[in-house]
């Protein structure tokens, strides 16, 4: 079994989930330092006018250089209210949104002091509702490099959202999105988008499309699972 090492992220993207679901196990690095402009405190959803970036505000802002385990959420801002309003606006017409709505809303109603706690809960929520059963562990010891048999997704997580290296829509396996008629298909955003579209079929969709997802997202840098 391939060992997958990953940064801690909220509501990770579809390609991330396809990789860890194929491996069956992921280890989150809580010792690595927070990196600004990364997905460690942000995620994308699909809105009526295109991709919407939702960001969790942090104490001391995005320029801090502290281990992920020590990054605090800034709850002076009503970010949870804003995120939830955006999600409901984007997905209330999605086929399966109503099925998950109340349970997901509860996650946004509980304040979190630490970023890794919210990220962990978002992982557990998606893991459970998407029916993936990925085993989760954490490490508090930082290693810059791992052996070749390890799939290190931390570098992928550091990619700037929307910058070169973003996944082209043409090569990514498609499913029906709420606003695709207006915006075109938006690839590799949060797994929330796929879950609200495919519901109980989410896990099987990921399995069936894992190779195509990996090729579209990682190209020649694909890892073996």
Per-residue pLDDT of the chain (225 residues; tens, 9 = 90+): 577 999 999 999 999 999 999 999 999 999 999 988 889 999 999 999 999 999 999 998 766 789 999 999 999 989 999 999 999 999 999 999 999 999 999 999 999 999 999 999 999 999 999 999 999 999 999 999 888 878 888 876 555 444 434 565 568 999 999 999 999 999 999 999 999 999 999 999 999 999 899 888 776 555 544
d(CA 12, CA 118): 12
Cα–Cα distances (Å) from 54 to 15, 40, 61, 97, 211, in that order, read 18, 11, 15, 18, 28
Pairing state between β 42-47 and 50-55 = antiparallel
Q: How many Cα atoms are found within 13 Å in the side-chain-facing hemisphere of 61? A: 1
Q: What are 152's strand-pairing partners?
A: 5
d(CA 127, CA 34): 24
d(CA 218, CA 14): 12
pTM, to two decimals? 0.92
């Amino acid at each position: 079994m391939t060992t997958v090492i990953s940064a801690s992220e909220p509501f990770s993207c579809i390609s991330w989930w396809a990789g860890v679901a194929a491996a069956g196990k992921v280890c989150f690095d809580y010792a690595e330092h927070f990196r600004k402009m990364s997905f460690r405190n942000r995620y994308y959803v699909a809105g009526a006018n295109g991709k919407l970036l939702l960001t969790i505000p942090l104490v001391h802002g995005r320029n801090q250089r502290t281990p992920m385990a020590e990054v605090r959420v800034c709850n002076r801002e009503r970010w949870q209210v804003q995120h939830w309003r955006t999600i409901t606006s984007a997905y209330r017409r999605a086929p399966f949104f109503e099925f998950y709505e109340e349970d997901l809303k509860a996650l946004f109603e509980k304040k979190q002091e630490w970023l890794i706690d919210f990220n962990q809960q978002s992982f557990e929520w998606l893991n459970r509702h998407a029916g993936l059963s990925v085993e989760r562990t954490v490490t508090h010891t930082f290693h810059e490099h791992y052996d070749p048999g390890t799939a290190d997704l931390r570098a992928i997580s550091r990619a700037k959202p929307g910058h070169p290296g973003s996944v082209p829509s043409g090569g990514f396996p498609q499913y029906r999105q709420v606003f695709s008629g207006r915006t075109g298909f938006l690839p590799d955003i949060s797994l929330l988008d796929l879950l609200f579209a495919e519901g109980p079929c989410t896990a099987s969709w990921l399995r069936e499309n894992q190779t195509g997802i990996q090729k579209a997202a990682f190209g020649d840098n694909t890892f073996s699972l």
